[in-house]
Structure 1
């Protein structure tokens, strides 16, 4: 997992057990994610989700995951955007892997600021206590795989994983289309 994080973030223990990303956040992948997330190109969920599936074949522990949980958006942000990109990606991956996807496990209770211009400490502070576990009975004793579009510092995924662990998840992994190097 450490190879996915900068040296400062490596010193902090992430809340998740492992992270897998399909690509680096650069070039065509970066352009596709921007179009998908910020320009409403929902059709890109299929090829980006397929990229995840293809790149991660054989790179996850056996029998994993039991459940896919997309990183939630705050309801206001989702209304503005019209969709949750992590949810669309998770649904595509879940369809191919025949794995259940649950959008109702986590909720983003706090409308956080955009993380795009924040450094690592500010990102951690921004998402601290921003998520709440809504359906602990769905994750108790299970291996949960969080799904998001980009892994930068791991702050968002770590905070989500903390909630899942407190709710009884046996293990928590993170799955993203891209990672920032």
Structure 2
């Protein structure tokens, strides 16, 4: 089984703004982005999507999934982490003591009042268990950097807080393959 995870393309919001579950649009035309993504996946020999794209309900993912497939599976469990009171604020405007408190216990702290990493990962992994555990055909997902990193940590058996540091570009592809019950990383940030 192949699991193809794609971070949404660049969004129309200023750099440096915390926008977790804030519903911001894509910066470029969704149909152009769909064509470029299809061409890139073809060049990388990514397995074809035969069962429709799975996507976050946030428009930066859902609109692209719908442009790629008439059978998009929109699921709220694939939304980015909710950052509570920090949503829509510039990161450099948030009290450093609050960010430090969050970083000191990222798994459980929630100084912003939104989700902590454990809550976020719980809903993402619930989607994974229901959608991917007993499946042989490829699954294609359009989601967010946090979702991709949480799933990568789970599949590779590493600490989530370590995977959160991995670079993942807008539109970056993370491709995993299950072979004899073990998950292998085929490509990261392709």
What is the TM-score when the length of structure 1 is the normalising length? 0.44
Bigger radius of gyration: 2
Q: Which has the higher strand share?
A: 1
Q: Which has the higher helix share?
A: 1
